[in-house]
Amino acid sequence: MIDTGVNIPLQEIITDEIKRRDISLQVLRIDLIDGITGGNKYFKLKYNIEEASGQGHDTVLTFGGAFSNHIIATATAGKANGFKTIGVIRGEEPSVLSATLQDARAQGMQLIFWSREKYKHKNEFENILELEKHFGPFYLIPEGGSNKYAVKGCAEIVKEIKTDFDVACVPVGTGGTIAGLVHGLRGEQKALGFSALKDGGFLEGEVLKLLHSYEGRNFDRVAAENKIKIVTDFHFGGYAKYNNELLAFICDFKKQHNIPLDFVYTGKMMFGLLKLIEKDFFIEGTKIIAIHTGGIQGNRGLGEGSL
Ligand X SMILES: *Cc1c(COP(=O)(O)O)cnc(C)c1O
Among 293, 299, 301, 307, binds ligand X (CB under 6 A): 293
Shortest-Cβ-distance residue relative to ligand X: 295
CB 150 to ligand X: min, Å: 7
CB 296 to ligand X: min, Å: 8
Among 1, 33, 172, 307, binds ligand X (CB under 6 A): 172
3-state class of 195 per DSSP?
strand
**Within a 13 Å sphere around the CA of 146, how many CA atoms are in the beta-carbon half?**
20
CB 93 to ligand X: min, Å: 23
3-state class of 105 per DSSP?
helix
Candidate segments 5-13, 76-84, 171-179, 184-192, binder of ligand X by CB under 6 A: 171-179
Contact 202, 140 (CB under 8 A): no
Contact 154, 180 (CB under 8 A): yes
Binding of residue 87 to ligand X (CB under 6 A): no
d(CA 174, CA 246): 22
Q: What is the DSSP string of 42-96?
A: HHHHHHHHHHHHHTT-SEEEEEE-TT-HHHHHHHHHHHHTT-EEEEEEESSPPSS
Contact 211, 219 (CB under 8 A): yes
For residues 250 to 269, the per-residue mask of contacts with ligand X, x marking binding by CB under 6 A and - elsewhere, is ------------x--xx---
Binding of residue 40 to ligand X (CB under 6 A): yes
User: Residue count at the site for ligand X (CB under 6 A)?
Assistant: 20
CB 301 to ligand X: min, Å: 12
Q: How many residues does the chain have?
A: 307
CB 62 to ligand X: min, Å: 12
Q: Toward ligand X, which CB reaches closer, 9 or 285?
A: 9
Q: Within 10 A of 288 (CB to CB), how many other CB atoms are there?
A: 21
Among 48, 177, 189, 299, binds ligand X (CB under 6 A): 177
Binding of residue 153 to ligand X (CB under 6 A): no
Candidate segments 19-27, 87-95, 230-238, 292-300, binder of ligand X by CB under 6 A: 292-300
Beta strand ranges found along the chain (DSSP E) = 10-13, 24-28, 59-64, 84-90, 110-114, 139-141, 167-172, 190-195, 228-231, 287-291
Q: Toward ligand X, which CB reaches closer, 171 or 260?
A: 171
DSSP secondary structure code for residue 162 in this structure = -
Binding of residue 144 to ligand X (CB under 6 A): yes
Q: Toward ligand X, which CB reaches closer, 150 or 284?
A: 150
Interface residues for ligand X in 186-215 (CB under 6 A)? none
Q: How close are the terminal C-alpha atoms of the chain, in Å?
A: 32
Point out which residues bind ligand X (CB under 6 A): 39-41, 69-70, 144, 146, 171-177, 262, 265-266, 293-295
